[in-house]
Structure 1
Amino acid sequence: MLYLKNLTYHPPATPTAILKSINLELAPQQLGLVIGPSGSGKSTLLEILAGLAEKTAGNLLWRDQELTPEHLQQLAGLVFQFPERHFCGGTILEELRLGHPELGSGRVKEALTEVALDHIPLQTSPQSMSGGQQRRLALAVQLIRQPHLLLLDEPTAGLDWSMRRQLVNLLAKLKNHWTLLIVTHDAGELLSIADRCWTLDRGELQSVEPATLKAKAEQPQSVA
């Protein structure tokens, strides 16, 4: 279980806190969805959970263990928005083994099978793959590290409706084995697979039922 208790992030250079007394609980094998506009603090929240930034105050725990940034770097795997821009390997195999040259073929195949890319030759260039395949590869890069928590920043951004649907189906499958926390400005199809939802606005987090957001999204828009 992931616990955030009164988590605050207030860098000295900013007049107000970017994250204000955040409280959040997410159980194993659940998918949590944090929805908010640009500038609301979503990406900052993921950076703290990934151990890339350090909270100013509050508590961050996995089960009953207080987590340091070093713990979080081992516990969590972060998939950035547009992760394909960060690929460095010339082939799928090179990308998966970056920083992990000791990984055997079994671990590589297992990670690719999880994201339904095991049919693509390992010598394929990541840059030659479709947008949807690139997002799957970015997930495999994190899964091969075997984290407990998967963090995703706007995973459906820039994908067409077909690729979005395929990715949503994949994420629904992954939560059978992992805990997932996704941040997005547009929940869209992700609402159908979310177990927990929150809205984040100007650093303040509010819990909301997924069914409530889904019903609201399905309401016909009035025409002026």
Structure 2
Amino acid sequence: MLDVIGLRYHPATAPAPVLADVSLQLTVGSPALVAGRSGSGKTTLLEVICGLAEADAGRFLWQGEALSSRQRRWLCGLVFQFPERHFLGLTVGQELKLGQRRLTAEKAEAVLEQVGLGNLSLQQAPERLSGGQQRRLALAVQLVRDARVLLLDEPTAGLDWTVREEVLQLIADLAKERALLVVTHEPELFRGVVERGWRLEQGTLRPLEAIHSGSLR
């Protein structure tokens, strides 16, 4: 369980805090969601949680133990909205092995199978994959790292409906053994997948109502 308590983030270039006294709890097996408009601070929230940006105030606890920024970078796996922009490997195999020198071909293939890319060659170039395959590869990278907290930034953006449904099912499956947080401007797409949610407005969170049925507001 990851607890985020009293998080505040106010960059010098912003007239007001991007995040102000934000608190939330992420539990294994209970995927959560933060909704908000573009520019509301959703991506910033993920970057601060995973230690890529330094909070001005706040505490982070994993199973009740305080975490430093470095520890959060190991614990959390962040998948950006357009993960293909962050791929560094020339092949799928190289991408999976970044920072994982002892990764065997058998382990890499098993992880690809887990995310629905079992037929993909390790020699395939990531830029030649479809959008849905690139999202799955980005998730596979985090599974190789054994990230205990998955942070997903607009994971269905730009995907057609068929691929979107497949990615949603994958998210539901991955959340069974990990804490998982999705940020999105389309919360209605995650009905039936995500159990709890908040809306981020003016730097603060409020509960997202009717997440299982009816309109999300």
Secondary structure of the structure 2 residue equivalent to 1:183: strand
Give 1:182-221 correspondences, 5 Å limit: 182-211=182-211, 214-216=213-215
Q: Tell me, which stretches of 5 or more residues in structure 2 are unaligned?
A: none
CA drift at 1:188: 3.1
Query: Residue in 2 aligned with 1:104?
Result: 104
Separation in 1, partners of 2:125, 2:97: 14
Separation in 2, partners of 1:164, 1:92: 22
Query: Residue in 2 aligned with 1:160?
Result: 160
What's the CA shift string for 1:45-74, capped at 9, x where partnerless? Answer: 100111101111121111211111101011
Separation in 2, partners of 1:34, 1:113: 29
Task: Name which of structure 1's ranges 118-127 and 138-147 shifts more when overlaid on structure 2.
Answer: 118-127
Separation in 2, partners of 1:62, 1:112: 28
Separation in 1, partners of 2:210, 2:116: 27
Q: Does the CA contact (< 8 Å) of 1:76 and 1:151 recur in 2? A: yes
CA drift at 1:85: 2.0
Query: Residue in 1 aligned with 2:71?
Result: 71
Instruction: Write the letter of the residue equivalent to 1:215.
Output: G
2:52 is the alignment partner of 1:52: yes
Query: Residue in 1 aligned with 2:61?
Result: 61
Q: Would you say how many aligned residue pairs link Structure 1 and Structure 2?
A: 217
CA drift at 1:210: 4.6
What's the CA shift string for 1:165-214, capped at 9, x where partnerless? Answer: 110011111111211101011123212210110000121101234536x4
What's the CA shift string for 1:25-49, capped at 9, x where partnerless? Answer: 1211221100000111101110011
Separation in 2, partners of 1:201, 1:42: 10
Separation in 1, partners of 2:11, 2:86: 26
Query: Residue in 1 aligned with 2:125?
Result: 125
CA drift at 1:109: 2.2
Query: Residue in 2 aligned with 1:82?
Result: 82
Separation in 2, partners of 1:109, 1:216: 40
Secondary structure of the structure 2 residue equivalent to 1:72: helix
Instruction: Write the letter of the residue equivalent to 2:214.
Output: A
Secondary structure of the structure 2 residue equivalent to 1:216: coil
Q: Tell me, which stretches of 5 or more residues in structure 1 are unaligned?
A: 218-224
Identity %: 45
2:13 is the alignment partner of 1:3: no
Query: Residue in 2 aligned with 1:221?
Result: none
Secondary structure of the structure 1 residue equivalent to 2:140: helix
Q: Does the CA contact (< 8 Å) of 2:3 and 2:60 recur in 1? A: yes
What's the CA shift string for 1:96-152, capped at 9, x where partnerless? Answer: 112222212233123212201122121112122211111100110111000110001
Q: Which has the larger radius of gyration?
A: 1
Instruction: Write the letter of the residue equivalent to 1:81.
Output: Q
Secondary structure of the structure 2 residue equivalent to 1:140: helix
TM-score by length of 2: 0.94
Give 1:8-27 correspondences, 5 Å limit: 8-27=8-27
